[in-house]
A = this chain, B = another copy of it.
Amino acid sequence: MKKFIDTIDGFLDESLRGFAKAHADIVDLSPEPRFVSRKAPAKPGKVALVSGGGSGHEPLHTGFVGLGMLDAACPGEVFTSPTPDQMLAAAQAVDHGGGILFIVKNYAGDVMNFEIAAEMLDAPHDSLLVHDDVSLPENRGMGRRGIAGTTVVEKIVGAAAEAGYDLAACKALGERVVHATASMGVALTSCTVPALGKPMFDLGEREMEMGVGIHGERGRERMALGSAGEIVDYIAAVIDDELQPQPGQPVLLHVNGFGGTPLIELHLMYELAHRHWSGRSVDIARSLVGNFTTSLDMAGCSLTLTRLDEEMLRLWDAPVHTAALRWGC
């Protein structure tokens, strides 16, 4: 295992402490129970957005805590749901009187633990489920997984909460964004969980996992390694089936790296994806390229497309000041 680790047990806490120190102007860290909260003051009555999930996907979600995005994030152990006590403590710490919206990626453990926390919470609250991974059919088991589209949801709903939307309006907007968003990823290599010490799955030198999940879950197909163009064509066709973007439709195109793929390749994937959609006269109005929803050291990436309306576009452009996204302030 080729990783920077001191002790397996201390891996997450040491990283969180480093994160909080490196961004001490933006976040506070509660070490026990673990959560990260924003330093920027919030207006009384602002809806508080609380997200979280297993660690190993950084900067998601801790890197999205700050003005214009999340009020708090709860990091679980690597690829493991955070516990209800973390979520409850985070919600209580950032309650500004406008209610709490939990933003939950659709995984069984996360869903269950956020539900338990919500039941214990003595304040108005609601939950928004993110399930943007279109690699698998909608009706398998508990539905689709939440992956890189989460960044888009958290940014747009975060701006709405900052602008004074109430709890119901934040949730309704969030559901519209989720509905307008489709993502799909591909793994070129496995990732290695520190506590496991070896790759989560085997992938041959000439293979890729198409439709992979962000914890290395099996996708649609184990395929022969394709060219970048073939990969983009495959993923874009699945996304197009789902979203049916029409000529002139403004979209946000997000190319997300999984942690082990360098920026030079992500920009190449962006170019090919841009060519695909602009060739169909889709209006690529906004872009985001980089490592945002990672899978530890996995090589690979995902494409995410969001159909934007004017409200979403305005909220995407609104000021944000977090560790991972920063503009307009």
Spell out A's residues near B (CB within 8 Å): 2-7, 11-12, 14-19, 21-23, 55-56, 58-59, 63, 78, 188-189, 205, 208, 225, 227-229, 231, 255, 259-272, 274, 284, 287-289, 291, 294, 296-297, 299, 301, 326-327
Contacts and interface: CB of A to CB of B under 8 A. Distances in A.
Given A263-B59, A294-B263, A289 B3 contact: no
B55 A17 contact: no
Given A189-B2, A227-B5, A297-B299, A18 B260 contact: no
A205 B192 CA distance: 14
Contacts of A228: 4-6, 14
19 contacts: A3-B188, A5-B265, A6-B227, A6-B229, A14-B228, A15-B264, A15-B271, A18-B268, A21-B271, A21-B274, A21-B284, A22-B287, A58-B262, A58-B264, A260-B262, A261-B297, A263-B294, A326-B326, A326-B327
A302 to B, nearest CB: 12
Where chain A touches its partner, the secondary structure class is mixed
Contacts of A14: 228, 268, 271-272
Most central of A23, A229, A255 by chain B CB within 10 Å: A229
Contact of A274 (B12, B18, B205, B231): B18
B5 A264 contact: no
Nearest to A328: B329
